[in-house]
Each structure stands twice: as structure tokens, then as C-alpha cells.
Amino acid sequence: MSRKKIVAGNWKMNKTPSEAENLVRELIPMVEGADVDVVVCVPFTDICAVSALTKGTNIAVGAQNMHFEESGAYTGEISADMLLELGVKYVVLGHSERRQYFAETCETVNKKAKVALAKGLVPIVCCGESLAERELGVTAELVRSQVKKAFAGISAQDAAKVVIAYEPIWAIGTGKTATAQQANEVCAVIRGVIAELYGQETADVIRIQYGGSMNESNAAELMGQSDIDGGLIGGASLKAGSFAQIVKYKG
């Protein structure tokens, strides 16, 4: 089954609004006409500027996190409605850095995913193992558990809208990359879990990205794999030329 690739840049805590404007202005003509879905997931402070610049282009805007409550006494948090009003379409949930540094859990990811879907946002739900877990041989078991918990109580109709990002933690920002075969094996495990939960039809349409030091040199090989439907790009998304090369990879 043919699934449209999706390449999303995760800028993390980088780029001031003026720097973001410069990057996006450079990027827009470079990715025009791309046959993949293009997303930039920017810091909250950049959303206004980037949304204004990308309006009418083929670049969609994503946020890097959101809260599961609509409003209230949650100092420093951002709601789905706030994102929607700014023109955000995608939201990254459960990134390993959120889990490691900010106490994100599979349960909070699930709560956030439900709210995002109810509001019309597209969740990019992250999962992945540490180097110690891979060396213990529990990668498949761990990822299966993360996916099941993230999708608890979500209907098949909604599940099909979610993008899953498989990110081996040991390959994020390290320059190390899982081999194309290693990455595809885990993405196939993830698709198998979705098939168990919802049936093969849903598993065939859900898109699974690989994240973990994907760059312009390895993008074609990684995205040429049977179960890899795009990339969640970190460092390479901070340079317009590098990100554009990934977006326009030659399969």
C-alpha cells in the first residue's frame, strides 16, 4: 500500500523568532512542489512568525508539546486551542527528551493524544529504546508497550490519523544511526502492534517515521524501507539546504 511520506523537522530549543523567519524564508522555495508532507515543529515562541510565513505554502507547522487540559492553573503550559488559533496542524508528543527531562509518561502521552485528536490536531507520537535496552534485547517488547499505552482508548478511525515516530534514543543527536534494516525491523513491529489493536487496514494506512540522526546522506536508504514512511529530523532541520535535501530525497 502506498503511504505518502511525511518529513517533519523538530527544531527543539533552537531559533529565535527572527532566526526562524530567516530559516523558513530560505526553506520555502527549496521544498516547493515536494511530493511528501513537509512539517516544521518549532518552539512555541516561533509559531506566530512561522505560521504567517508558511500560510499558502506546502509547509505545515507543528508544536513540540501541549497540555491535555483545555485551560487552568498550569503555569507555563500550552493548550490545543492555543495552538489551533495560531495555525498549528501537528504536535509532537512523548519525545524521549520530554520523557527524560520533564517526566513525560506513556499515560500523559495518551491523554495528550486523545485531546489532540479531538481538537483536530495530528499527533506525532514518539517511541524508542535506550542503548541499554537495545543491548538487553528488549527493544520490541518496550516499543510494543509504549505504542499500546499511547493508543489506549483511541478508536481505529482516530488511530489512522496519528503519525508514529520511532526514535532509538541512542541515535538522537549522537550522529549514530540505526541501520536501515534495524530501523525497518522496529517500524514493522510498530505496524504489527497497530494491526493487533485495530486490524490490518488501519496498520496499512498509519504512517511511521524514523528519527535518530537522519540526514541528507542516509534519508533515501532509510525512507526506501518498506515500513518507514518519513523522518522526524533534528539537527539537519536547522539548515534549510540539508532539510530540503531530505524532503526531496530520491527514492
- Tens digit of each residue's pLDDT (9 = 90 or more) over 42-89: 999 999 999 999 999 999 999 999 999 999 999 999 999 999 999 999
pLDDT (tens digit per residue) in 22-46:
999 999 999 999 999 999 999 999 9
Whichever domain contains 160, its CATH number is 3.20.20.70
42 inside domain: yes
105 within some domain: yes
Task: Please choose, from the candidates 86, 84, 32, 40, the residue with its C-alpha nearest in 3D space to the C-alpha of residue 58.
Answer: 32
Residue 174 lies in a domain: yes
173 within a domain of the structure (yes/no): yes
Q: Does residue 239 form part of some domain? A: yes
Coil vs helix vs strand at 141: helix
Q: Record the pTM.
A: 0.96
Contacts of residue 19, defined as CB under 8 A and 6 or more positions apart, other chains included, come to none
What's the structural domain count of the chain? 1
Domain residues for the domain of 190 are 6-247
Q: Which of 95, 97, 129, 216 is catalytic?
A: 95
107 is an active site residue: no
For residue 203, being part of any structural domain is answered with: yes
Q: Is 167 a catalytic residue?
A: yes
Amino acid identity for residue 97 in this structure: E
What average pLDDT does the segment 119-125 reach? 98
Catalytic residue among 97, 104, 129, 167: 167
Give 223-233 pLDDT, tens digit per residue: 999 999 999 99
Does any domain span residue 1? no
